[in-house]
Amino acid sequence: MSGALSGVKIADFTRVLAGPYATMLLADLGAEVTKVERPGTGDETRDWKPPVDSQGRSTYFLGVNRNKSGLALDLSIAADQARARELILASDVVIENFGANGMAKFGLDYKSLKNLKPELIYCSITGFGSSEIAAQLPGYDMLVQAMSGLMHVTGTESGDPTKAGVAVIDVIAGLHACTGILAALRARDEQGIGQLVEIDLFSSALSALTNQSSAYVAGGIDPKRLGNHHPSIVPYGVFTASDRSIAIAIGNDRQFAKFAELVEIQEPNYKENSNRVEHRDSLIKLINEKLQSKTAGEWIELFRKNQIPAGPINSIAEAFNFAETIGLKPIVDIAGSKSVANPIKLSATPAEYRKAPPTL
């Protein structure tokens, strides 16, 4: 069978991460994506190196640009603007991240195009939205992690605020862009009309804070950093065995009862989760003391046999090796270009890997 999105044409005017990640996922599912880049330099991530692959190409760029065709256009030139407009009008979806009103100066914004093609779906990704104030703010993942509160709740209680180890807000915004585009395609198929899909990194971050943002919105609580531990569940974090640290994620009282039996904790104050949260510090200290009797590997084996959620803190290399051992097949190779497999598994129309990332 053809891909789930076979026949859908996407004009991709995005660069760096959020947009390219979204369009790569859509391309994996069958969409025909044309990536438009600036002549000479192209997507900034082409030059974000090291690390590089065996051919000297930026692994950052390779990681989010497979299954796309490439087209270099200088949008400051009228002839290339006309070519871009022709590409857009032949497409079902256009996606761009030129910033608030960034495409308007080329006559390629939604307002300029919707009358020419009412069924067009136009996805715009910005850092902070489209208001006059928001348009002045540079939309970089690091800034959004800082300004959204994510860094405020990440890191140790007594240490500095810490960013996540990957540009997670860009990735989340890319996923939101995918969702918005798919919803708009569904609406177009049902109603015959296109629409503007607006995604901003800051709103994506606030939404992705989930329980932490809800604590403020619904509970009036401004959450603080707790290191590797959870504000509402204990024990749920990183603990130290005799040789190294392990992750333990107890999700309910039944699991804790079995866990307590295995590590020989008998304190009745810890029976219910609300009590464990109240006595967080003493319980964490006690667990770390109890875990000194065995190695991390020994504890993990014992916990798994008893359906206790626990595991090692892997390096990325170890994580990929583990994925292989459990049959996930996490790496794909397209003409010598390796990348991470699409995590969406469809039984009838699975993801396809047709093209290596385009040259400029």
Query: Which residues touch 354 (CB under 8 Å, ≥6 apart)?
Result: 67, 334
Q: How far lies 67's CA from each of 17, 139, 321, 352, in Å? A: 15, 26, 25, 8
Torsion of CA 300, 303, 306, 309, to 10 degrees: -100
> Rounded distance, CA 284 to CA 245, Å?
13
Assign residue 148 a region (left: φ > 0; alpha: ψ between -120 and 50; beta: otherwise).
alpha
Active-site residues: which are they?
170
The full DSSP string for 142-159 is HHHHHHTSTGGGSS-TTS
Looking only at Cα atoms, what is the longest distance across the chain?
Answer: 77
Contact 165, 235 (CB under 8 A): no
Query: Which residues face 249 on adjacent strands?
Result: 236
Residue 310: alpha-carbon gap to chain centroid: 24
Amino acid in position 208 = A
Contact 356, 68 (CB under 8 A): no
Question: What is the side-by-side order of every strand in the sheet holding 93-96?
Answer: 68-72, 32-37, 9-13, 93-96, 121-126, 195-200
> Rounded distance, CA 225 to CA 76, Å?
46
> Rounded distance, CA 85 to CA 280, Å?
59
